[in-house]
Each structure stands twice: as structure tokens, then as C-alpha cells.
């Protein structure tokens, strides 16, 4: 187990931590010494796999069912984490959905669902976590490089939600600065996850490095932003996309 990031004894919650980037972030935080709670919506077996991986590092893991579109569930997940571990130091807000559709075909229901999860849900998760977060804590959101460059048809709503997260982080960083809580946003490019598996091959030609990211590469940036080393960075959006947004 690596402890060079100084996360030993820290408690983290990863919203949307059962698979993909969220699961990779949870595993990496555990390897760096943190105990980690992960939320999931519909795949308890994947959440159990993530908890098993956390425990394999010698740390403690906890799976909590919580829909990121449900304010009560978000608050309850934070409360359960604090009740179980005694405190909260790090919050990673990874929950998000992608529903593709051009401007002519996006339904009101699809629009509302993406806004509810990708914007409203992110704000509510930050709000709930901040209320219980230790002073000097860390909040890390997982946005998208589509906030900078869409690049393909059918991504307007998703891009809009991720741009909203980037601006949201700036304002909340100011709100929480007096408590020395940093708030930063990671903007991955195409990453090999369940959500993007059908899109990767079509997008690869747009990426200068000609490959998609591994979730563990994104998790490495999460670990940095969770550490003492990043203590002077707040309100920032960091793009990690193989040069796609250049």
C-alpha cells in the first residue's frame, strides 16, 4: 500500500463508485491509505466488487445504495458514511449519465434526467458532503472534456451539463475557501467504461494520442487532488484527454 499521498486515516465517499472511473478512484484512494464508501444505484454486485478491492488493500470499504437524482438519498449516504467511519475528509462526485441526441431529437424527459443527475445531483452531493466535511477537506468532481470541446453530433446536452459543473466548482470553491476545503474538477476525455464502450472506436481518430484513457489514469489525478500536495489548487478544471481538446 502506498502512503506517499498522505491519505492514511482519511475517510472518503465516492458518489457513483461501483464501476468505471468511480470504482478506479475508490480503489486508488484505498491504496493511498483512505477508507472509502461508494454509492451505487442499480448494480449491487459491482459495488460489492469495489468494496472487496478496497478491503484487499487493507482498508475498510462500505457500499451504499443512493440515486444521485434523489436529494434525500444523497444526504443519507453522507450521514451513513460519517456514522460508520466517524468523519468525512474527501468527497468524489462521479455520478453522471450520457443520453445522446441532437437538438431535434432530445426529449424533455431526457433533458430533465441529464440535468437532474449531471448538474442538480452534483450540486446536491457537494452540498451534502460539505456540511459534514472536515475543515481542510477535498471535493473532487468528475466532469468531461466535452465542457471544452464537443467534437461530435448529439452531445449538446451532455456538454452543457459538464460545462455547468466546471463553472459550479469555481463558485463553490470560493464559498468553502474559509474552511480550507478545496474544490476541483477533472475533465476526462474518452475513457474505457461501460458508458463509452460503444463510442470509443469512433472517437479515437479525434484524439492526438490515438487511444482512450484507462480509468486508473483518471484515478491517479483524483489521488493527487485528494492529497496535501494539491492544497493550493481550488476552483480548477483539469483536462485529461490525450490532447483531444487542444
CATH number at residue 36: 3.40.50.720
Query: Residue 208: inside a domain, yes or no?
Result: yes
Distance CA 230, CA 132 (A): 21
Query: Residue 5: inside a domain, yes or no?
Result: no
Mean pLDDT of 29-41: 97
Q: Give pLDDT, residue 152.
A: 76
Query: Residue 1: inside a domain, yes or no?
Result: no
Q: Give pLDDT, residue 4.
A: 53
Query: Residue 2: inside a domain, yes or no?
Result: no
165 backbone dihedrals φ, ψ, rounded to 5°: -65, -40
Count: domains in the chain: 1
pLDDT level of residue 1 (50, 70, 90 thresholds): very low
Distance CA 139, CA 99 (A): 26
Which among 152, 138, 117 has a CA at the least distance from the CA of 234? Answer: 138
Query: Residue 21: inside a domain, yes or no?
Result: yes
Strands (E), 83-224: 90-93, 138-142, 182-188
Query: Residue 16: inside a domain, yes or no?
Result: yes
Query: Residue 4: inside a domain, yes or no?
Result: no
The domain of 142 spans: 11-240
Model confidence, pTM:
0.94
Largest CA distance in the chain: 51
139 backbone dihedrals φ, ψ, rounded to 5°: -120, 130
For 107-138, what is each residue's pLDDT tens digit?
999 999 999 999 999 999 999 999 999 999 99
Instruction: Say if residue 203's pLDDT is above 90.
Output: no
Q: Give pLDDT, residue 5.
A: 59
Amino acid at each position: 500500500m502506498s502512503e506517499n499521498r498522505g491519505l492514511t486515516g482519511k475517510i472518503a465517499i465516492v458518489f457513483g463508485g461501483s464501476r468505471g472511473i468511480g470504482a478506479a478512484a475508490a480503489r486508488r484512494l484505498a491504496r493511498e491509505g483512505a477508507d472509502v464508501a461508494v454509492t451505487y444505484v442499480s448494480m449491487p454486485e459491482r459495488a460489492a466488487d469495489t468494496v472487496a478491492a478496497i478491503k484487499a488493500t487493507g482498508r475498510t470499504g462500505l457500499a451504499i445504495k443512493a440515486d444521485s437524482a434523489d436529494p434525500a438519498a444523497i444526504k443519507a449516504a453522507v450521514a451513513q458514511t460519517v456514522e460508520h467511519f466517524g468523519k468525512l475528509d474527501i468527497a468524489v462526485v462521479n455520478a453522471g449519465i450520457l443520453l445522446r441526441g441532437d437538438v431535434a431529437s432530445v426529449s424533455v424527459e431526457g433533458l430533465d434526467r441529464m440535468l437532474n443527475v449531471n448538474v442538480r445531483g452534483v450540486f446536491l452531493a457537494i452540498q451534502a458532503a460539505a456540511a459534514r466535511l472536515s475543515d481542510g477537506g477535498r471535493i473532487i468532481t468528475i466532469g468531461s472534456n466535452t465542457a471544452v470541446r464537443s467534437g461530435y453530433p448529439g452531445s449538446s446536452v451532455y456538454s452543457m451539463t459538464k460545462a455547468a459543473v466546471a463553472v459550479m466548482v469555481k463558485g463553490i470553491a470560493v464559498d468553502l475557501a474559509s474552511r480550507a476545503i478545496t474544490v476541483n474538477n477533472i475533465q476526462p476525455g474518452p475513457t474505457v467504461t461501460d458508458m463509452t464502450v460503444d463510442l470509443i472506436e469512433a472517437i479515437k481518430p479525434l484524439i492526438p494520442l490515438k487511444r482512450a484513457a484507462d480509468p486508473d489514469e483518471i484515478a491517479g489525478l483524483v489521488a493527487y487532488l485528494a492529497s496535501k500536495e494539491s492544497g493550493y489548487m481550488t476552483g480548477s478544471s483539469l483536462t485529461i484527454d490525450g490532447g483531444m481538446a487542444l
